[in-house]
Amino acid sequence: MEDLFGGAAPYYARYRPAYGDAAIDHLAEAFGADSRVLDLGCGPGTIAIPLANRVRAVLAVDPAEEMLAEGRRLAEGVPAITWLRGDSATLRALPPFDHVVMGRSFHWMDRGAVLAELDELLPPGGAVALLGPAAQPGEPWQPDAQPWQAVERRVCADFGLDMDAAATCFHATGQPHRAVLAASPFRRLESRTFRRRLVWDVDGLVGLQLSYSYSSPAALGDRLGAFVAAFRAALLAADPAGRWEQDLVTEVLIARRTER
Ligand SMILES: C[S@@+](CC[C@H](N)C(=O)[O-])C[C@H]1O[C@@H](n2cnc3c(N)ncnc32)[C@H](O)[C@@H]1O
C-alpha cells in the first residue's frame, strides 16, 4: 500500500494532539489489563504508546514505514509494543490479538470487509474500538469546527489541495462509522466523549497542517515553502494575535458483538 502521509510523520508525531489520559484510561479499562491489543493504522503510536503501559501488549500496525519509524523513536524505553508494517488487508498474517483499536484510521479501509474479518479473528468478548473526533451535527466524519477552518479552506483551495480527499473511503459509501458497525457483528455500541481545550499558535497550526495527508510535504512537493508562507500569512491576517483556542471532543466508540 502506498504511503498516504508522505513526509508528514514527523509533523504528525509532534503536532497532532494526544487523545489525553482520560480517553486512554477508558479504553484500557474496556479492554482489560491482561489483553493483547491490535492498534490498526497506528501512525506514530498516538494510541499504542500510552496504551502499552496499561495493557499486556500492543501490536502497532501501519502501512507507512515513516509513521512506524516515528513510533519506534517515540516509544524508546516503552516495553510491550511490537511495530509491524501491514494494513487492513493483512490482518490474517498478524500474531493473535484480543481487541482492536483504530484511531482516525477506519475511514481509510474497506470497513465492512475489515469487520467481517475481525469477526473471524477476534476471540469471544473481543471488542473493536474507534477513536477520533466526535461527530458534530451536520459533520458526519470530522467536526472541522476549528476557528481557523475558513483560512485553511481558502489557502488549500488556492493550492488546489482537496481537503476532503482523506475521507474518500468514507464518502464512497456515505455511511458514518456507526452505520457500518450497526450492520456488522459488532453492533453493540458504547460511546463516551472526552472534551479538552487546546491553545494553538501559528507554528503549531502550520505543523498540524503539514501532518494531514492532503497537505503533507509529499502532496505539496516543491510548493511546500510557498504553502507554509501563504498559510502563515493568512492565519496572521485573520488573527494578528496568533492565538487560537480549540474545543477538542474525542469520542471513544467501543463496539462489541451481540450475545450469541
Ligand atoms: C490519521 S492517521 C491515525 C494515526 C493514529 N492511529 C492516531 O490516532 O492518531 C491514519 C493512519 O492510518 C494508516 N492507514 C491508512 N490506510 C490504512 C489501512 N488500509 N490499514 C491500516 N492503516 C491504514 C495511515 O498510514 C496512517 O498512519
Dihedral (Cα; 50, 146, 250, 25), 10-degree rounding: 30
For range 216-232, the mean pLDDT? 96
* Average pLDDT score over the chain: 90
8: Cβ below 6 Å to ligand 1? no
60: Cβ below 6 Å to ligand 1? no
CB atoms within 10 A of CB 225: 9
Cα-based distances in Å from 90 to 2, 63, 79, 102, 192:
14, 10, 24, 15, 30
Domain segments of the chain: what residues?
Answer: 9-256
Asked whether the predicted pLDDT for residue 141 surpasses 50, the reply is no
Mutate to test the pocket of ligand 1, among 19, 62, 215 (most ligand atoms within 8 A of CB): 62
DSSP letter string over 179-246? HHHHTSS--EEEEEEEEEEEEE-HHHHHHHHHTSGGGSHHHHGGGHHHHHHHHHHHHHHH-TT--EEE
> pLDDT at position 171, please?
52
Tens-place pLDDT, residues 188-215: 999 999 999 999 999 999 999 999 989 9
More confident residue, 257 or 145: 257
Dihedral (Cα; 243, 210, 215, 144), 10-degree rounding: -40
Tens-place pLDDT, residues 162-187: 887 665 555 566 788 999 999 999 99
For range 71-84, the mean pLDDT? 94
Q: How confident is the model at residue 2 (pLDDT cuts 50, 70, 90)?
A: low
Q: How far apart are CA 117 and CA 168, in angstroms?
A: 22
> pLDDT at position 168, please?
56
Q: What are phi and psi of 159, to 5 degrees?
A: -95, 10
10: Cβ below 6 Å to ligand 1? no
Asked whether the predicted pLDDT for residue 57 surpasses 90, the reply is yes
Atom of ligand 1 nearest to the CA of 12: 9
For range 82-101, the mean pLDDT? 97
Q: How far apart are CA 136 and CA 79, in angstroms?
A: 37
Tens-place pLDDT, residues 44-55: 999 999 999 999
Q: How far apart are CA 114 and CA 119, in angstroms?
A: 9
Asked whether the predicted pLDDT for residue 3 surpasses 70, the reply is no
> pLDDT at position 260, please?
57
Asked whether the predicted pLDDT for residue 137 surpasses 60, the reply is no
Query: Smallest Cα–Cα separation from 105: which of 198, 7, 213, 14?
Result: 213
42: Cβ below 6 Å to ligand 1? yes
What is the percentage of the chain residues whose pLDDT exceeds 90? 77
> pLDDT at position 115, please?
98
What is the percentage of the chain residues whose pLDDT exceeds 70? 90
> pLDDT at position 151, please?
93
Residue of the CA atom closest to atom 14 of ligand 1: 41
For range 88-93, the mean pLDDT? 97
Q: Specify the CATH number of the domain 9-256.
A: 3.40.50.150
Q: What are phi and psi of 116, to 5 degrees?
A: -65, -40
> pLDDT at position 172, please?
60
Handedness of CA 45, 46, 49, 55 (dihedral sign): negative
For range 111-137, the mean pLDDT? 91
Q: Which three cell numbers stand for residue 242?
A: 496568533
Atom of ligand 1 nearest to the CA of 88: 20
